[in-house]
Structure formats: C-alpha cells, structure tokens
Copies of this chain bind each other. A is one copy, B any other.
Amino acid sequence: MTTSSSILSTTENLPRVLIVKRPAAMAVLGDRFVASTKFEILKAFESPLPLPAFLANHSHSVSAVIAPVAAPVTADLIRLLPNLRLVVTTSAGVDHVDLVECRRRGISVANAGSSFSEDVADTAVGLLIDVFRRISAANRFVKQRFWPLKGDYPLGSKLGRKRIGIVGLGSIGSKVATRLEPFGCQISYSSRNQKPYDVPYHYYMDIEEMAANSDALIICCELNEKTMHLINKDVLSALGKQGVIVNVARGAIIDEVEMVRCLREGEIGGAGLDVFEDEPNVPKELFELDNVVFSPHCAFMSLEGLEELGKLLVANIEAFFSNKPLLTPVL
C-alpha cells in the first residue's frame, strides 16, 4: 500500500485515475469534486517530481485519466500509461485528446456531455448584451469618475431586431438561440448539416453568407480540423464594421491575428471573448478597446455547474469500471 499524499484514498485494488493538472473545478471544490469509494485519484500535480519521473512509479497502475483542457492527452502521455483504458475530459470539447491514438489503443473516451451548455449559453448571451449595450465599458466609465464630467456615456445598440448568426446549433448554440428569442433577435445558424424542419431558424450552408447577413456571430461549434480558423479574414470582412463576434467555443476557431487586426482597425464592431488561441495569453493590444470584453475561459464555470460536472465524471468512471455504458461517450 502506498502512502503517497498524492493518492486521495489508499484502499487497495481500486482502479487508479490519474489527474495531471488540477482541474479548475478541483481548485474550487477540492477533493470532493470527484470523490468516490470505487476508484482512487492519483494527483500528479501535487508531486514535486516532473511528470515522467512521477509516472515511473505509477504508470502501470493507472487505468483512467481525468483530462482538463490544460493537460492534453497526447500520444506521448498515452505511451507512458500501458494500462490506460479510459480518458474522461472535464470539458465538452475533446480537441486536447489524441483521439486517433485512443482509438488505435482501444481507449474509451467520455466528455462532459452537455453539463456546461446552460452556463456557456448564459455567458454567451451575457457577453453579447455586454458588447451591444456596453455594460463593462459603462462600469469602467462610472468607476473612472467620468460621469458626468465627460458628459453622457456613448450609446449602445438595441438588441431587438438584431440578426444573430449562431455558428454550430448544438447543445450550446440551441440554448443561445432560445435565450435570444424573447429579446426580439432574428436567429439564423450554420452547421455541418441543416437541422430538421422543426428548427425555426434560417440555415446558412455558407458561413460567409451568414456573416454578411448578421449583426453578430456567436461561435458555439466544436474545434476540429474543419472548424480551425473557420472565422477567417473573409468571414470577418463579411460581418462588417458594425458586426460583433462572441466566442465561447475555442479560440482557434477564429483566426485571432486577423480578428485582432479587424478590431484595431475598426473593420468589425466589437467582440466578447471567453476563449483565445494561445490561452492564457490574450491579445493585450485589444485591452484599450472599449468594445472588446474578455473573460478567462470561464463561461462554463459556475459553482452549480462544476458540482454537476463532478457527479458526471464520477458516474462515467464508476460506470466504466462496472462494465456499464458510459453516460457521455465520445469513443
């Protein structure tokens, strides 16, 4: 029996679940985030050893990995874990997991399902209102004691009748759409395929055409080789000088260099950004712009949401080791 402080429970013979970097939820909720009597957690991030040295002692005992976005499950990591059978991500997106290698090795993969969808959709709407109605900027204006020294605060724009193009009408995108309907927004969407006829929103096969007919784009799709830099120079140019972009998906879906240029040169109207191409590095050259709102990849994070996530992670891992189907399988 090991006495390592990096192991939550020391009951023998339980499956061991490796966590390389501390998930945000664990920083908040502590060990109760994924507490279970049916598996042991192995916290590499609590060890002073570099990961390969740490794994040298544990590699054969690890049968599952909990993988936050900040700790990619690469082919290299997988190679270090000969008995790995399950990867469970703390995110809906699985672009930080080498799915090809997992498939080749017969490793199952589960994600966070739609447990974040409501929170992410809420934040997307919050960012959209913030940019259109300039809420963060107004807050700054008051706190800088410009009211009324600088006269009245510059005007925001009305949400009603705004044409909102949702990129990816999945679990998050469809929740964004239903939230924006009562604001009087006109919703359209683009996605791999047109949704069934009971989806009441206009479908665009071509994203550039949607951008040209939208006052704002809200990015809700997953990142994959087809959506990488999907929002490129042409799409941004079609969106135009008044157009707003909100990204709650993944930074790399937008060509960030191009977006930064467009924002700085006034070629698009504003942005609400929760995600970035090279997190946690953000384009600081936008900090001075009043029409850009940043958040640190926390759209998915709420206390209630993280608690639900923990329950889902535990349920997936327990199901797997009980030979039951995963609740939110990817592979």
Contact = CB atoms under 8 A, between A and B. Distances in A.
Interface stretch (A50-58, A157-165, A187-195): A157-165
* Chain A residues touching B, majority SS: helix
Interface string A183-226: 11000000000000000000000000000000000000000000
A318 interface: no
A293 interface: yes
Given A151-B27, A295-B139, A122 B133 contact: yes
A303 B142 contact: no
B138 A296 contact: yes
B135 A123 contact: yes
Interface string A281-297: 01010010000011110
Interface residues of A, number: 55
Interface stretch (A40-48, A174-182, A322-330): A174-182
B294 A155 contact: no
A145 B305 CA distance: 26
A129 interface: yes
Contact of A136 (B139, B155, B182, B184): B139
Interface of A: 24, 27-28, 118-119, 122-123, 125-127, 129-130, 133, 135-136, 138-139, 141-143, 145, 147-148, 151-153, 155-161, 175, 178-179, 181-184, 280, 282, 284, 287, 293-296, 298, 301-306
